[in-house]
């Protein structure tokens, strides 16, 4: 038996800078965040060298775990791909067993030794998932008793096959995860088939609705944002906040989060306006736009998480690339947050920009991903969709003169910041 508590044998450490890190949200049936699939990719010298070698992934997992897995996934579960080499290694000494689900890749050959090792790890408290199951094969049969989750790809498996397989696995008490859910229709199909969890960016796609009206609270926040970005006095801003009691309470809670970094507790609206300043106040109002629907019973947590992560990552990237211009970082944060407002409001981005005054540079970034801010936003989107857009990361980094090592550390900082914000915002 291999002792997973021993440190005698460890994978060769590889530096985080040699890799890209992507994470894709996995939601439950109520649209609340359940976990993330963590996707590690080699950072190539050139596009031809792009690799997703799982042995390299194992070393990155070790390094990421040492840095703190909670920085990447917060309170959620982390789903990580593993193959036979990883399963037979001693990587598991690094992994918090209560925080990870090990995804067995579909290409893995099941030998008696591998199956015995999986059984041993299950005995140690590790959870496993079968990835990309398309039929009830003998290999699936061998592994099914050892796994808790079965993942099926909504983009490749025929709906009739899904309808036949789903009840079969549910009968075995397995949790079903629908992968590559990109449309509301695919989500509804998986929901009807009694899937438990849903992975994909369907929640971030705008569902344009003619004549859709903003909620009273969202209107109040938008009006307040207009005051903040204009030359209105602090007293006028304070009065506007006081008109909406829930807005006032939520703002006070948000400005006291660790993410703000205030040196003292902020107990009054006038203090909030004075201490924060216009720039920070505008930032928290933008975040509140995403948090507000959750308070009405509509779970918008994943959209809030995605928007705050984008905003913070763009801000950190801008600060790294243009360290002597703090104003650029502020604008980059706004671009990241605003990039999902078409989804939030259910109206085209072009229409939103007729209501919220922005510079031509910001409009170009939001409408067509052009210019400096557009490059930053495109990089963030490539990372989110690392499986489909991996090849675009290298040229985008080259255009920005940004190194992969800086990118991964900024990503982890953005994930951690966003997790803190969302925890307090809801």
Give yes or no for a contact between 101 and 35, defined as CB atoms under 8 angstroms apart: yes
Q: What is the pLDDT of residues 290-308, one digit of tens each?
A: 887 655 545 557 899 999 9
The model's confidence at residue 402, banded by pLDDT at 50, 70 and 90, is: confident
Question: Which of 285-299, 316-330, 401-415 tops mean pLDDT?
Answer: 316-330
Instruction: Give me Rg for the CA atoms of the chain.
Output: 23
Tell me which of 200-209, 287-296, 354-363 is least confident: 287-296
Question: Which of 95-99, 130-134, 141-145, 313-317 tops mean pLDDT?
Answer: 313-317
Question: Which of 16-25, 168-177, 259-268 tops mean pLDDT?
Answer: 168-177
Domains of the chain: 16-204 (3.20.20.450), 216-425 (1.10.3210.10)
Percent over 90 (pLDDT), the chain: 36
pLDDT score, position 8: 31
Question: Over the chain, what is the mean pLDDT?
Answer: 82
The model's confidence at residue 145, banded by pLDDT at 50, 70 and 90, is: very high
Question: For the stretch 373-390, what's the b/e string if a residue is b when 16 or more beta carbons lie within 10 angstroms of its beta carbon?
Answer: bbbbbbbbbbbbbbeebb
- 118, 124, 129, 131: CA torsion to nearest 10: -40
Which pTM value belongs to this model? 0.84
pLDDT score, position 197: 97
Higher-scoring residue by pLDDT: 417, 258 = 417
pLDDT of 47 over the 50 cut: no
The model's confidence at residue 46, banded by pLDDT at 50, 70 and 90, is: very low
pLDDT of 415 over the 60 cut: yes
Q: How far apart are the two ends of the chain, measured CA to CA in Å?
A: 46
Give yes or no for a contact between 348 and 363, defined as CB atoms under 8 angstroms apart: no
Give yes or no for a contact between 39 and 82, defined as CB atoms under 8 angstroms apart: no
C-alpha span between 109 and 384 (Å, rounded):
30
pLDDT score, position 294: 59
pLDDT score, position 164: 92
pLDDT score, position 211: 62
The two structure tokens encoding residue 225: 């944002």
Percent over 70 (pLDDT), the chain: 84
The two structure tokens encoding residue 197: 């969890």
pLDDT score, position 223: 81
pLDDT score, position 23: 87
User: What angle do the packed helices 360-368 and 326-338 form, to 10 degrees?
Assistant: 40
Question: What are residue 81's DSSP bridge partners?
Answer: 103
Q: Is 277 left (phi over 0), alpha (psi -120 to 50) or beta?
A: left
pLDDT score, position 58: 65
Instruction: Give CA separation, 30 vs 223, 301, 342, 384, in Å.
Output: 31, 10, 22, 22
pLDDT of 212 over the 90 cut: no
Give yes or no for a contact between 321 and 400, defined as CB atoms under 8 angstroms apart: yes
The model's confidence at residue 171, banded by pLDDT at 50, 70 and 90, is: very high
Other CB atoms within 10 A of residue 289 CB? 24
Q: What is the pLDDT of residues 58-98, one digit of tens each?
A: 655 666 666 667 778 888 899 988 888 888 887 787 788 88
pLDDT of 51 over the 50 cut: no
């Amino acid at each position: 038996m291999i002792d997973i508590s021993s440190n005698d044998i460890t994978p060769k450490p590889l530096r985080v800078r040699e890799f890209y890190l992507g994470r894709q949200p996995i939601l439950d049936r109520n649209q609340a965040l359940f976990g993330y699939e963590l996707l590690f990719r080699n950072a190539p010298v050139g596009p031809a060298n792009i690799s997703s070698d799982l042995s390299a992934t194992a070393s990155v997992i070790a390094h990421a775990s040492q840095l703190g897995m909670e920085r990447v996934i917060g309170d959620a579960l982390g789903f990580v791909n593993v193959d036979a080499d990883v399963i037979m290694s001693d990587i598991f000494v690094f992994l918090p067993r209560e925080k990870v689900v090990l995804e067995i890749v579909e290409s893995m050959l099941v030998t008696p030794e591998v199956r015995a090792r999986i059984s041993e790890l299950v005995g140690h408290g590790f959870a496993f998932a079968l990835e990309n199951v398309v039929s009830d094969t003998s290999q699936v049969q061998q592994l099914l008793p050892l796994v808790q989750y079965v993942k099926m790809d909504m983009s490749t498996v025929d709906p009739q096959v899904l309808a036949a397989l789903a009840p079969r696995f549910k009968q075995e008490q397995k949790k079903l995860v629908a992968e590559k859910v990109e449309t509301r229709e695919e989500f509804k199909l998986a929901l009807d088939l009694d899937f438990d969890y849903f992975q994909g960016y369907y929640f971030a796609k705008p569902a344009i609705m003619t004549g859709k009206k903003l909620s009273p609270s969202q209107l109040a926040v938008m009006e307040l944002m207009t005051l903040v970005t204009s030359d209105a006095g602090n007293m006028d801003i304070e009065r506007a906040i006081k008109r909406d009691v829930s807005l006032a309470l939520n703002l006070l809670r948000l400005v006291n989060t660790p993410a703000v970094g205030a040196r003292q507790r902020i107990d009054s609206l006038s203090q909030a306006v004075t201490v924060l300043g216009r720039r920070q106040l505008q930032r928290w109002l933008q975040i509140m736009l995403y948090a507000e629907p959750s308070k009405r019973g509509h779970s918008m947590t994943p959209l809030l998480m995605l928007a705050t992560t984008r905003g913070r990552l763009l801000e950190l990237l801008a600060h790294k690339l243009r360290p002597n211009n703090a104003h650029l970082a502020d604008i980059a944060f706004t671009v990241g947050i605003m990039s999902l407002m078409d989804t939030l409001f259910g109206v085209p981005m072009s229409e939103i920009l007729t209501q919220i005054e922005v510079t031509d540079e910001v409009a170009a970034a939001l409408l067509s991903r052009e210019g400096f801010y557009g490059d930053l936003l495109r990089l963030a989107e490539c990372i989110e969709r690392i499986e489909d857009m991996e090849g675009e990361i290298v040229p985008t980094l080259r255009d920005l003169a940004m190194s992969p090592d800086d990118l991964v550390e900024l990503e982890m900082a953005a994930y951690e910041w966003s997790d803190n914000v969302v925890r307090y915002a809801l």
